[in-house]
């Protein structure tokens, strides 16, 4: 067990806790409250990162209740309606030592986990001039970092603190309270609580028209993983320093994680975009390594008190909605909030409710896009794609439901449905004596995080007696995985079961030769953005050179290649010359119904 340590400051906050009567361990807690206990907090806040198990101090535990609670922690200004069966507890601000890397199996015995964390914390801080706060004064918090790793927060205070009373608010000066409430502990810059107060008071401070913007750093986890947390903190401080010196920014704040927010002067749209792009260009390099480029996702809302929009939504939620639509890699994106975005979000929630009925009624239909060998133009397989015949009517474009389903994990249901439908067809084709070629199906990052994934996949495929080598699981290269060693471990488990593995969208995300070397890949799919430049403009343009180099690298590593989005004969001929193994695109075929693909199998059986 390799543990990692980090000291941080936790501001005053509110805990919503679900108490238990007899629970001393996680199993007993779930027996009393259910394994899905966290769902009842959805009405308050969605990110799972704020949900945790709390080992409460004795003085905060009422008679008859266990010290083990499940709950949610929120900033003090973000209080909302209390869920049923929960109580609220106010916690003062204090320092914590985060201890990461505990085995998830320790969750079964929460008191032992907390005792271990307490012991490790005492050893760690001996030379840090810190004291561990007694475990009967402040809560210990346990978070699930990944499928196999836990993080525990241990409250601490500095030796220079004369008494524990400094942990209370009573003995703090007004300046101390102001700094505690309105300053980010990492950067010293203003925090979201401070900026939120400005938004709430805009009419009193003369802001009747302004622009609100919220942005984050794309692929920030990679910065953390590659360069370390101190470099990440240095980056945060640099961003805050730049924001604080722009005269067109009225107010700015460092928000949660790698998010920042700004209240900007009202100005013409073109001028606004020029300012923002110039800002992100200035912030486009890591301060400690100018060769490492940074890109940003920014959501923008234009506010005019005389043109009230969406009174049921907060302006920060509008900006976040626009920000979440910035999905391209290696480019800074600015998205202006529109009412259409809200409409799409509402419709996506509606589709989510209707999804079980669509599956039951088989309104979700699998289409297959054939793949061909460019050397002989013969069929080699297909990719499974989903189509929704919405309520038996027109086809609902995936763009209206897939992005939202990917963000909340609902896509897992669709992925497993597609896998099952493909396996059903394989079983039918086997009985008919048709040739069987591999079919690729999507494997979302949410499914990869499941500890029981391999059992789920094998159960579905084996139910229909399908040989494992006929199923090709596609992972998307542009998806972020915070724990690459865990991802590689999962892929090795899948590979060990005889399945094929493809990397989709290669060249658009975390491309790294080291990762490519370590991943057990059968196929890399070259993204369409590279293919579009082939046979367009001058010979050997950058897209052509990139595509050719990717094919060369894949061949050297013994990985087969597939070019997607091929539309012209010229593109196909170049790829054939460069040694591309498979081609998928409109040159050969668009996505087609399964019945049409079955016709292709019958032709292949006849040698046509």
Is the four-CA dihedral 16, 22, 25, 29 of positive or negative sign? negative
- Residue 176: pLDDT band with limits 50, 70, 90: low
Classify 127 as helix, strand or coil. Answer: helix
Q: Classify residue 246 by its DSSP letter.
A: -
Q: Is residue 5 a contact partner of residue 99, using CB atoms and an 8 Å limit?
A: yes
Q: What pLDDT does 20 receive? A: 85
* Cα–Cα distance measured from residue 325 to residue 323, given in angstroms and rounded to the nearest whole number: 5
As a whole number, the mean pLDDT across the chain is: 83
576-607 pLDDT, tens digit per residue, is 999 999 999 999 999 999 999 999 999 998 87
Q: Is residue 301 a contact partner of residue 211, using CB atoms and an 8 Å limit?
A: yes
468-481 pLDDT, tens digit per residue, is 999 999 987 545 55
| Orientation angle between helical segments 453-463 and 411-432, nearest 10 degrees | 30
Q: Is residue 273 a contact partner of residue 223, using CB atoms and an 8 Å limit?
A: no
- Residue 1: pLDDT band with limits 50, 70, 90: low
* Cα–Cα distance measured from residue 261 to residue 274, given in angstroms and rounded to the nearest whole number: 18
Q: Where are the domains of the chain?
A: 4-167, 183-337, 362-384+411-605
Q: Is residue 167 a contact partner of residue 94, using CB atoms and an 8 Å limit?
A: yes
- Higher-confidence residue of 551 and 45: namely 551
- Residue 43: pLDDT band with limits 50, 70, 90: low
Q: What pLDDT does 511 receive? A: 47
Residues 6+ apart with CB under 8 A from 514: none
Backbone phi, then psi, for 540, in 5-degree steps? 60, 40
Query: Residue 568 burial by CB count (10 A; 0-12/13-18/19+): exposed, middle or buried?
Result: middle
88-109 pLDDT, tens digit per residue, is 887 777 778 888 888 877 877 7
| Residue 172 in tokens | 């703090």
Burial 436-461 (b: 16+ CB within 10 A, else e): bbbbbbbbbbbbbbeeebeeebeebb
* Cα–Cα distance measured from residue 253 to residue 316, given in angstroms and rounded to the nearest whole number: 13
| Residue 177 in tokens | 């309270």
- Residue 169: pLDDT band with limits 50, 70, 90: very low
Rounded to an integer, the average pLDDT of 153-176 is 55
Q: What is the 3-state secondary structure (H, E, C) of 288-308?
A: CEEEEECCEEEEEEEEECCCC
Predicted TM-score of the model (pTM): 0.56
250-290 pLDDT, tens digit per residue, is 999 999 889 999 999 999 999 999 999 999 999 999 998 98
478-528 pLDDT, tens digit per residue, is 455 556 778 888 999 999 999 999 988 776 554 456 667 788 999 999 888
Q: Write down the H helix ranges in 11-107.
A: 26-33
Q: What pLDDT does 594 receive? A: 95
Superfamily holding 362-384+411-605: EAL domain (3.20.20.450)
183-337 — its CATH code? Answer: 3.30.70.270
Query: Residue 64 burial by CB count (10 A; 0-12/13-18/19+): exposed, middle or buried?
Result: exposed
**Residues comprising the chain, all counted:** 608
Q: Is residue 75 a contact partner of residue 91, using CB atoms and an 8 Å limit?
A: no
* Residue 327 clears pLDDT 90, i.e. is over it: no
Q: What pLDDT does 44 receive? A: 63
Residue 311 CA: distances (Å) to CA of 297, 305, 317, 486? 25, 11, 11, 43
Fold classification of 4-167 (topology level): Multidrug-efflux Transporter 1 Regulator Bmrr; Chain A (3.20.80)
Is the four-CA dihedral 354, 360, 363, 369 of positive or negative sign? positive
183-228 pLDDT, tens digit per residue, is 887 888 999 999 998 888 876 677 889 999 999 999 888 888 788 8
* Residue 32 clears pLDDT 90, i.e. is over it: no
Residue 554: CB atoms within 10 A of its CB come to 22
* Cα–Cα distance measured from residue 230 to residue 180, given in angstroms and rounded to the nearest whole number: 22
* Residue 136 clears pLDDT 70, i.e. is over it: no
Q: What pLDDT does 101 receive? A: 80
Q: CA angle at residue 472 from 563 to 414, to 5 degrees?
A: 100
- Higher-confidence residue of 374 and 411: namely 374
Q: What percent of the chain has pLDDT over 70?
A: 84
Residue 157 CA: distances (Å) to CA of 128, 164, 334? 10, 8, 42
* Cα–Cα distance measured from residue 606 to residue 378, given in angstroms and rounded to the nearest whole number: 12
Q: Classify residue 350 by its DSSP letter.
A: H
* Cα–Cα distance measured from residue 172 to residue 164, given in angstroms and rounded to the nearest whole number: 12
Is the four-CA dihedral 192, 193, 194, 196 of positive or negative sign? positive
| Residue 384 in tokens | 């499974």
Residue 523 CA: distances (Å) to CA of 224, 419, 497, 580? 29, 19, 17, 11
Q: What pLDDT does 458 receive? A: 94
Residues 6+ apart with CB under 8 A from 93: 9, 10, 11, 12, 13, 180
Classify 65 as helix, strand or coil. Answer: coil
594 closest CA partner among 434, 442, 355: 434
| Residue 459 in tokens | 């159960």
Backbone phi, then psi, for 470, in 5-degree steps? -85, -10
394-439 pLDDT, tens digit per residue, is 788 787 777 778 766 788 888 999 999 999 999 999 999 999 999 9
């Amino acid at each position: 067990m390799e543990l990692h340590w980090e000291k941080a400051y936790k501001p005053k906050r509110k805990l919503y806790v679900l108490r238990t009567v007899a629970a001393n361990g996680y199993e007993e807690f779930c027996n009393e409250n259910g394994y899905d206990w966290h769902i009842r907090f959805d009405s308050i806040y969605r990110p799972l990162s704020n949900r945790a198990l709390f080992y409460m101090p004795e003085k905060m535990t009422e008679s008859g209740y266990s010290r083990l609670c499940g709950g949610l922690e929120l900033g003090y200004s973000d209080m909302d309606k209390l869920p049923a069966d929960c109580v609220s507890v106010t916690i003062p601000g204090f320092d914590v030592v985060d201890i990461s890397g505990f085995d998830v199996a320790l969750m079964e015995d929460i008191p032992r986990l907390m005792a271990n964390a307490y012991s490790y914390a005492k050893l760690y801080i001996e030379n840090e001039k810190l004291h561990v706060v007694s475990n009967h004064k402040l809560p210990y918090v346990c978070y699930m970092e990944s499928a196999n790793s836990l993080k525990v927060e241990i409250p601490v205070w500095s030796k220079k603190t004369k008494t524990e009373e400094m942990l209370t608010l009573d003995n703090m000066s007004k300046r101390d309270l102001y700094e505690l409430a309105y300053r980010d502990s990492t950067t010293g810059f203003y925090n979201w609580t401070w900026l939120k107060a400005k938004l709430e008071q805009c009419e009193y401070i003369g802001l009747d028209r302004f622009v609100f913007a919220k942005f984050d750093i794309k692929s920030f986890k990679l910065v953390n993983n590659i360069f370390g947390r101190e470099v990440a903190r240095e980056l945060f401080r640099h961003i805050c320093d730049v924001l604080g010196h722009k005269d067109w920014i009225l107010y700015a704040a460092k928000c949660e994680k790698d998010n920042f927010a700004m209240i900007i002067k009202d100005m013409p749209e073109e001028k606004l975009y020029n300012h923002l792009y110039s800002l992100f260009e200035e912030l486009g390099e890591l301060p400690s390594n100018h060769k490492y480029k940074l890109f940003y996702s920014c959501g923008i809302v234009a506010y005019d008190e005389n043109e009230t929009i969406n009174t049921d939504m907060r302006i920060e939620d509008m900006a976040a909605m626009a920000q979440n639509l910035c999905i391209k890699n290696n480019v800074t994106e600015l998205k202006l909030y529109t009412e259409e975005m809200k409409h799409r979000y509402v419709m996506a929630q509606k589709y989510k409710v209707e999804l079980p009925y669509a599956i039951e009624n088989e309104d979700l239909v699998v289409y297959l896009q054939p793949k061909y060998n460019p050397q002989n133009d013969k069929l080699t397989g297909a990719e499974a794609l989903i189509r929704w015949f919405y309520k038996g009517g027109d086809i609902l474009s995936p763009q209206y439901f897939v992005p939202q389903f990917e963000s909340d994990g609902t896509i897992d249901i669709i992925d497993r449905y597609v896998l099952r439908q493909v396996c059903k067809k394989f079983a039918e084709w086997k009985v008919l004596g048709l040739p069987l070629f591999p079919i690729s199906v999507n494997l979302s990052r949410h499914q990869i995080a499941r500890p029981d994934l391999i059992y789920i996949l094998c159960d579905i495929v084996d139910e229909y007696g399908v040989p494992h080598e006929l199923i090709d699981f596609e992972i998307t290269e542009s998806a972020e995985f915070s724990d690459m060693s865990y991802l590689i471990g999962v892929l090795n488990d899948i590979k060990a079961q005889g399945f094929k593995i493809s990397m989709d969208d290669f060249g658009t995300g975390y491309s790294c030769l080291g990762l490519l070397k370590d991943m057990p890949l059968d196929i890399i799919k070259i993204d369409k953005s590279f293919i579009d430049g082939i046979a367009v403009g001058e010979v050997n343009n950058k897209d052509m050179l990139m595509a050719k180099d990717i094919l060369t690298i894949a061949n050297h590593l013994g990985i087969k290649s597939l070019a997607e989005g091929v539309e012209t004969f010229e593109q196909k001929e170049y790829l054939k010359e460069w040694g591309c193994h498979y081609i998928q695109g409109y040159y050969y075929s668009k996505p087609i119904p399964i019945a049409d693909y079955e016709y292709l199998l019958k032709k292949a059986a006849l040698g046509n």
